[in-house]
């Protein structure tokens, strides 16, 4: 009995220790289980575009852009193709997304290149609040013989006779049924000139002798720069402007939608 009592006392005295040890073990295991969860919560979440909110202003802009695209698509000009006349002497290079076109041809061994830019359109519309004042100024100051403004087409004509030789460059303004030469210069290949040299460009074209001016107009006419050519180009570039505008709007829409 004394041994049994001693054994019970020993068991009783060790039971709290076992319970404490078990409690400490459970707590330790619980902490071990919670550590990964705490670490996961502390880690920054990866960026997700799906959860990012687009500004409301983007939605409004997209709505307006789509409406403008619809309006442009309903116009007849954007998909109209100008039929090139049989007598048109140039090959047209028209790259989508660019502001100009290039015409090329050869004439009696010469290489002719024409850079055609977007037309400057004159609609004739005037703001209502300026009409009365403008009418008074016209009555007082404007000459009766003065012509109203017209739409114009900028041209740069380059004529070369050999790949290594000089070229003749004209800048012109094409009006309906009329072509004006603005400047005339002889361009030397860049390798033949020192960088610091400034080439003499010649006098103002309008200061040349009238016979010389007429001779150069005839010179361009023989090479295909005629009112018939530029009148066709005027319509062609108006249609190109419509196509490029619609192309630009669609690129803008794609960007806003990102």
Q: pTM for the whole thing? A: 0.68
Q: What is the distance between the alpha carbons of residues 83 and 236, in angstroms, rounded to a whole number?
A: 9
Which pLDDT belongs to residue 152?
96
For the beta carbon of residue 159, count every other beta carbon within 10 angstroms: 20
Cβ contact 173:153 at 8 Å: yes
Is residue 250 exposed (0-12), middle (13-18) or buried (19+ Cβ within 10 Å)?
middle
Contact 99, 117 (CB under 8 A): yes
Confidence at residue 2, expressed as pLDDT on a 0 to 100 scale: 40
Mean pLDDT by 10 residues, the chain (258 residues): 41 45 48 48 50 73 93 76 88 95 96 96 60 53 61 96 88 96 88 58 90 97 96 93 92 92
Q: Which two tokens stand for residue 46?
A: 């990866």
Answer yes or no: are the C-beta atoms of 176 and 228 closer than 8 Å: no
What pLDDT, on the 0 to 100 scale, is given for residue 134? 54
Q: Please, what is the angle between helix 227-257 and helix 56-74, to 10°?
A: 150
Confidence at residue 232, expressed as pLDDT on a 0 to 100 scale: 95
Q: For the chain, how big is the Rg over CA atoms in Å?
A: 40
Give the containing element (helix H, strand E) for 35: helix 2-42
What is the strand order of the sheet 178-187 is part of?
Answer: 91-93, 100-107, 110-117, 153-160, 167-175, 178-187
């Amino acid at each position: 009995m004394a041994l049994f009592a001693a054994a019970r006392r020993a068991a009783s005295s060790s039971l709290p220790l076992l319970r404490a040890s078990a409690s400490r073990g459970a707590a330790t295991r619980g902490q071990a289980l919670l550590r990964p969860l705490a670490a996961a919560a502390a880690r920054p979440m990866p960026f997700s575009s799906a959860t990012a909110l687009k500004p409301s202003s983007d939605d409004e802009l997209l709505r307006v852009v789509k409406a403008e695209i619809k309006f442009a698509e309903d116009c007849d000009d954007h998909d109209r193709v100008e039929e090139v006349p049989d007598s048109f002497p140039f090959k047209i290079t028209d790259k989508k997304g660019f502001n100009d076109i290039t015409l090329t041809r050869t004439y009696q061994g010469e290489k002719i290149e024409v850079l055609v830019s977007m037309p400057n359109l004159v609609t004739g519309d005037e703001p209502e609040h300026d009409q009365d004042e403008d009418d008074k100024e016209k009555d007082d100051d404007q000459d009766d013989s003065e012509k109203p403004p017209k739409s114009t087409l900028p041209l740069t004509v380059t004529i070369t006779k050999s790949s290594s030789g000089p070229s003749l460059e004209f800048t012109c303004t094409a009006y309906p049924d009329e072509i004006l030469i603005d400047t005339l210069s002889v361009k030397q290949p860049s390798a033949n000139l020192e960088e610091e040299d400034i080439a003499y460009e010649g006098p103002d074209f309008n200061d040349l002798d009238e016979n010389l001016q007429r001779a150069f107009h005839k010179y361009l006419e023989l090479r295909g720069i005629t009112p018939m050519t530029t009148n066709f180009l005027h319509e062609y570039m108006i249609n190109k402007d419509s196509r490029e505008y619609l192309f630009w709007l669609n690129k803008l829409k794609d960007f806003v939608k990102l």
